Amino acid sequence: DAGVTQSPTHLIKTRGQQVTLRCSPKSGHDTVSWYQQALGQGPQFIFQYYEEEERQRGNFPDRFSGHQFPNYSSELNVNALLLGDSALYLCASSRGPYAPLHFGNGTRLTVT
Amino acid sequence: GQQVMQIPQYQHVQEGEDFTTYCNSSTTLSNIQWYKQRPGGHPVFLIQLVKSGEVKKQKRLTFQFGEAKKNSSLHITATQTTDVGTYFCAGGNTDKLIFGTGTRLQVFP
């Protein structure tokens, strides 16, 4: 039974570029949440997807967008990358929007 | 917006000593969850508390949810080196789960 899988594990991009991160939820889970974690900080909520719709959004600009597919997998897109976007991006899945989260190993994004 | 703070930020203890981290939310929570993140790892779910005043135990770990559902605590009895990591509380309100600032625990043998 695979857990939450994220790809890629590491990514280096240049300021101004665009990036797409991918997430496959744990088997049986239908909800995906995305978090940004800067070094030494707690995870910051970006948004949550359920039934292919964005249900809740944190305090992130419109440069951050996402999508959920019919198979419950999800993508996080970030446009016009800034140096401050360098962080660990965590995907978490759950069985419904209110259930405990199961996290993937994350994608480490470095913007130079 | 909703904020969740934790104290202390860091705690260094000798193996065998007890450890407590406190979590405070600026708003009333529908539930509180606790996660542990080992260095270099991802957060791992420990427990969820839903009821006012609820207390739950997991072996040496005791979790408590405040009567007003705005604060919580995690107490570890007789710490072990395997307890090393950062402990996050996460407050549930509507559909968002907001993580606290975390308490980093270091245990010296």
Positive or negative torsion for Cα A5, A8, A10, A12 = negative
Mutate to test the interface with B, among A32, A45, A47, A94 (most CBs of B within 10 A): A45
Whether residues A42 and B99 touch (CB distance < 8 A) is answered with: yes
Positive or negative torsion for Cα B32, B45, B85, B107 = positive
Whether residues B99 and A56 touch (CB distance < 8 A) is answered with: no
User: Digits of tens for pLDDT over chain A (112 positions)?
Assistant: 579 999 999 999 999 999 999 999 999 999 999 999 999 899 999 999 999 999 989 999 999 999 999 999 999 999 999 999 999 999 999 998 889 999 999 999 999 9
How confident is the model over B59-84, as a mean pLDDT? 97
pLDDT digits (tens, 9 = 90+) for B4-62: 999 999 999 999 999 999 999 999 999 999 999 999 999 999 999 999 999 999 999 99
B31-47 as b/e, with b when 16 or more CB fall inside 10 Å? bbbbbbbeeeebbebbe
Predicted pLDDT of residue B93: 75
Could you identify the residue written with the tokens 């203890």? B13
